[in-house]
Chain A
């Protein structure tokens, strides 16, 4: 029976010889060998790329799950204090004017004059949520 250490050393030398073989071969030789053993290198690369992309996508699902959890955790009813509508409209105009040139401020909505009273109160509530007004 052979010494296990000798067997391991032999296997290491064989592995090194095979690696050297591959490294010495030209790209064409490697591709030809691959085609002979496993078929189209291009198809295999495409398959591997798809598998890789799929794995990344599946790993990214954690983000979706935590975003869903965040939505569920953030469902708290907000209570807006009652405010006369004229005052509410004046307040809204004031905030909009104050942020007219503010590059951190984003708004996509109808003009204040086109908003109904309910819409104005709602907009103020959103401003309160964002900390734009107290």
Chain B
């Protein structure tokens, strides 16, 4: 169990609705307040065992929750340090930077495995509709919830974010071999291409597509994957690429 999950258990949290971040902060000596911040989403200032977490008051409720959880991550792991940082949208980060550590803590606090996995299993196949339902239960964004599902190896799949200039980041389930690496740029055969550049509407469900639309490998054309793409902001799309052919999972 991770430190965030242990903290939730210490508080007897047995239901996602009980993940009360202000109460959790209070329990660890931090007070949360909301202000009209302009230069950043949130910050934490602490001295000895007490801290003040300040959150931008006009952010969305889910964004505020993520920011509090992220700052609690700093409070847990970076006490006694002065970090120059910013709270970005939750996305996979490469190195074990303080921001990555705080993000991981936030994911564990907002979507603890012992509550998240049973709920995810109960919602059936991986689709953005399923991710949205899960996000409503845990009050987390579509992006954060998708990454959590992939990170917990719920299904052999990828979640990939694209902008107008190509791939911005991706997360891959641990059960998918690392040689399956998504293309840098969107292939015109992918459904995502139409959503990203053609202003096509979101895909209502994952659809079958040749794997070479997503992976630049000589053997990719032998396989079929499922893809679903939705728009998440003015210039960004999020795609689920689901591996169903077990031969793709062989190392």
Residues of A within 8 A of B (CB): 54, 56-64, 67-68, 70-71, 74, 96, 99-100, 102-111, 114-116, 118-119, 122-123, 126-127, 129-132
Given contacts A59-B12, A60-B9, A60-B10, contact A108 B26 (CB under 8 A): no
> A67-B27, A108-B81 known; 13 other A-B pairs, CB under 8 Å?
A57-B9, A58-B14, A62-B12, A64-B18, A71-B23, A104-B47, A104-B80, A106-B44, A107-B43, A118-B37, A122-B54, A126-B54, A132-B47
- Which residues of B (46-104) have their CB < 8 Å from a CB of A? 46-48, 50-52, 54, 71, 74-75, 78-86, 98, 102
**Which single residue of chain B is at the shortest CB-CB distance from A111?**
B84
The reply to whether B85 and A105 contact each other, CB–CB distance below 8 Å, is no
A59 to B23: give the CA distance in the assembly, Å: 17
A68 to B18: give the CA distance in the assembly, Å: 11
Chain B: interface size category:
35 or more
Which of B38, B40, B48, B52 contacts A129 (CB under 8 A)? B52
A126 to B43: give the CA distance in the assembly, Å: 10
Q: Which residues of B contact A58 (CB under 8 A)?
A: 12, 14
Q: Which residues of A contact B84 (CB under 8 A)?
A: 109-111
CB distance from B124 to the nearest CB of A (A): 25
Q: How many A-B contacts are there with CB distance less than 8 Å? A: 137
Q: Which residues of A contact B10 (CB under 8 A)?
A: 60, 63
**B13 at the A/B interface (Cβ < 8 Å)?**
yes
**B249 at the A/B interface (Cβ < 8 Å)?**
no
Residues of B within 8 A of A (CB): 9-14, 18, 20, 22-27, 31-33, 35-40, 43-48, 50-52, 54, 71, 74-75, 78-86, 98, 102
The reply to whether A118 and B38 contact each other, CB–CB distance below 8 Å, is yes
Q: Which residues of B contact A60 (CB under 8 A)?
A: 9-12
CB distance from B100 to the nearest CB of A (A): 13
The reply to whether A123 and B43 contact each other, CB–CB distance below 8 Å, is yes
**Which single residue of chain A is at the shortest CB-CB distance from B13?**
A64
Q: Which residues of B contact A70 (CB under 8 A)?
A: 23, 26
Given contacts A59-B12, A108-B74, A108-B83, contact A131 B47 (CB under 8 A): yes
The reply to whether B46 and A105 contact each other, CB–CB distance below 8 Å, is yes
Closest CB pairs A-B (n = 3): A60-B12, A106-B46, A61-B12
**Which single residue of chain A is at the shortest CB-CB distance from B45?**
A126
Q: Which residues of A contact B80 (CB under 8 A)?
A: 102-106
Q: Which residues of B contact A54 (CB under 8 A)?
A: 14
Which of B9, B43, B47, B75 contacts A109 (CB under 8 A)? B43
Given contacts A107-B44, A126-B52, contact A115 B39 (CB under 8 A): yes
A12 to B188: give the CA distance in the assembly, Å: 85
- Cross-chain pairs A/B with CB under 8 angstroms, 20 sampled: A57-B12, A60-B9, A61-B12, A64-B23, A64-B27, A67-B11, A67-B26, A70-B23, A105-B47, A105-B80, A105-B82, A106-B80, A106-B82, A109-B84, A110-B39, A115-B39, A116-B38, A118-B36, A126-B33, A130-B50
**Which single residue of chain A is at the shortest CB-CB distance from B20?**
A68
A119 to B10: give the CA distance in the assembly, Å: 34
Which of B24, B27, B36, B45 contacts A130 (CB under 8 A)? B45
CB distance from A62 to the nearest CB of B (A): 7
The reply to whether B12 and A130 contact each other, CB–CB distance below 8 Å, is no
Of A67, A96, A109, the most chain B CB neighbours within 10 A belong to A109
The reply to whether A57 and B14 contact each other, CB–CB distance below 8 Å, is yes
CB distance from B86 to the nearest CB of A (A): 6
The reply to whether A109 and B52 contact each other, CB–CB distance below 8 Å, is no
CB distance from A129 to the nearest CB of B (A): 5
